[in-house]
Every structure is written in structure tokens, then in C-alpha cells.
Amino acid sequence: MKREDFSDLAVFLAVAEEGTFTRAAIRLGVSQSAVSHTIRRLEASLGFRLLNRSTRNVSTTESGEKLLAILRPGIGQIDARIEELRLVKDRPRGLIRITTAPDVARRLLWPVITGLIRDYPEIRVEVNTNSRVVDLAESGFDAAIRLAETVGPDLIAVPVGPMLRMAAVASPAYLAARGEPLCPADLAGHDCITMRFGADTAPYDWEFERDGQESVRKVKGPLIFNDGDLCMAAAREGYGIAYLLLSEVQADLDSGRLRRVLTEWCPPFEGYKLCYSSRRQMTSALRLLVDRMRYRG
């Protein structure tokens, strides 16, 4: 392998992780055309295709997946060693301001930041819990934890959790009285416990998919919340069907307090990512937080 191929491999890794040439270019600080040219050059050098291209995104070929499996552990070890050397020179310090939804702050962020401030007393962390997607630069935040689908193209995003799945749930008493919906269209005849993420936004539409067929439902019911715990409590009390992350309701499903419906219409999707601006210089404190939160499952 030629020496320049090693830097090209780093570009390939960025494209594979970001899913588009555009986001990879922002992450690397180069033009989109430079990224595209590098990938073509690398494929020509290796003698096989690494990526399948479409108008909106790219995906790895079978050969590309095998190459990724080789690259990720090696580059991860290199990054970790470089970070150790950097920390010796520049001990992390200062304030990290991060925003995310309340349940994400409790489940994903809290276990990490408690260890972080214990190991590095000069780091301070401010956590703002807000379900709305805010502009990081305008709001003065260093980072946010968001679902992958809400991450803007100008942000670098690092996975911090596994794939997720939604769950439509109701109490056994409600389903005994009202019946079980067999397809998303049946929700029109049910009370649905909806969520509104901002005072000036419409209630969240429920999105379903089965065998490539998508169904988006504008549901309605007697209750609207901006908090998942309240939706779950209302579902337990029999006020209707709630639509929440499976991980949030799993304990209630296991205990029998809630039952799941429309299961086959809720496929897995990309989970939470920690995102930060590609235009701001990354502090050693934020770099350390990103490394500790990175999902490696």
C-alpha cells in the first residue's frame, strides 16, 4: 500500500461513519469534491468498490464493511494514545455546556459526567434539559445529544448509544375495553396520548414502517404532554395509547402494566448521537467527553 493510501483510509472512515460526502467533508474540513476524489483514488488503488452511491447518501459495500472492521479498532487505538499524550500536555479544564432531553440526560449523560468530573476536577459541566432542538451556536452550547435524524449537516455527530425502537403501548384494561389496533390506520378510532415538544409546535406525528411501507399518523386524544414519563403514566392509568421508546417502557411491559401493540410496524432506527460544531475548535475537555461517551457496541 502506498503512503498516501493511509490518509485516504481516514477519509473513507469518515464517509462511512457520516453517511454522506457532505457531512464527511465538514468533519474533515475539506471540500466535498476533495472527499469524492479521495474515495475514487482509494478504490482505484485497492481494486474494489468501497461505497454504494445514491443521490442522498452512501452506504458501504460488502468489501467496504470488511475494511471498516479492520480500520475501526486500529484507528480507535491510535486516537486513544494520541489523546493520552495530549492530556499529559494539556490537562482538561473549563466548562462544557451541553443540552439534551431530560430522559437522555439521566440515562446516557449522567453516568459519564459523574466519572468525568471525579477524574478531572478542573472540568465543569452544565447540563440543560430541553426536548427542543436548539441552535448550538446561538444558544452558546458546546454540544448536544440528539436522535440521529435531528442532527444538522453542519454538525459532527458521534454515536453514543445502540439502535432504538419505538413502542405503541396501552394498559390491558384499555385494550380490553377498546380493542387492539392491527394497523396504524386503526389509531383513528383510539385515544392517543400525544406529545408536543414546544409550545409553538404541533403535536408529534407517529411514524410507522413495515416491509418498506411508511405510515405517518396525525393522532389525537384527551391528553398532550411534553414529557415521556407523563405519557407513560397516563397509559398505565388507561387513558389511551402512548408512543414511546421501547427502552423507556420495557419495565412496564415486563411487569404487565402495559401491553405493546403494532409491534411489527416499529422497526429499529439509528439512536442517539453527541453532536458538536465543525466550525469551532474542540477543547480538550469536550474531546474527553466525546471519547468517553462514544458507543462502541
Question: How high is the pLDDT of residue 69?
Answer: 85
pLDDT band at 2 (very low <50, low <70, confident <90, very high): low
**CB distance 275 to 143 below 8 Å:** yes
Pick from 70-79, 125-134, 175-184, 285-294: least confident: 70-79
pLDDT band at 54 (very low <50, low <70, confident <90, very high): confident
Question: Residue 88 pLDDT more than 60?
Answer: no
Residue matched to cell numbers 432542538: 133
Question: How high is the pLDDT of residue 178?
Answer: 96
Question: How high is the pLDDT of residue 108?
Answer: 92
Helices (H), 127-258: 136-139, 172-178, 228-236, 246-255
Question: How high is the pLDDT of residue 80?
Answer: 64
Question: Residue 133 pLDDT more than 80?
Answer: no
Distance CA 12, CA 6 (A): 10
Mean pLDDT confidence for 208-219:
93
Q: Tell me, what amino acid is at 19?
A: G
pTM for this model (two decimals)? 0.62
Question: How high is the pLDDT of residue 3?
Answer: 55
Question: How high is the pLDDT of residue 132?
Answer: 74
Q: For residue range 281-297, list pLDDT tens digits in order.
A: 788 899 999 999 998 86
pLDDT above 70 as % of the chain:
92
DSSP string, 8-76: HHHHHHHHHHHSSHHHHHHHHTS-HHHHHHHHHHHHHHHTS--EEE-SS-EEE-HHHHHHHHHHHHHHH
Q: For residue range 103-117, list pLDDT tens digits in order.
A: 889 989 999 999 999
Pick from 20-24, 124-128, 187-191, 216-220: least confident: 20-24
Question: How high is the pLDDT of residue 105?
Answer: 92
Question: Residue 230 pLDDT more than 80?
Answer: yes
pLDDT above 90 as % of the chain:
46
Q: Identify which has the larger pLDDT, 99 or 83.
A: 99
pLDDT band at 1 (very low <50, low <70, confident <90, very high): low
CA atoms within 13 A on the CB side of 59: 5
Mean pLDDT confidence for 83-107:
79
Question: How high is the pLDDT of residue 87?
Answer: 57
Q: How many CB atoms lie within 10 A of CB 8?
A: 20
Q: For residue range 72-84, list pLDDT tens digits in order.
A: 777 767 766 666 6
Mean pLDDT confidence for 204-216:
93
- CATH of 3-85 given 1.10.10.10, 1.10.3720.10, 3.40.50.720, 1.10.3680.10: 1.10.10.10
- Whether the domain at 91-150+271-293 and the domain at 166-265 fall into the same CATH topology: yes
CATH number for the region 91-150+271-293 comes to 3.40.190.10
Question: How high is the pLDDT of residue 293?
Answer: 92
pLDDT band at 85 (very low <50, low <70, confident <90, very high): low
Q: According to the CATH classification, is domain 166-265 in 3.40.190.290?
A: yes
Question: How high is the pLDDT of residue 166?
Answer: 96
Mean pLDDT confidence for 202-223:
92
**CB distance 54 to 92 below 8 Å:** no
| In the chain, domain spans | 3-85, 91-150+271-293, 166-265
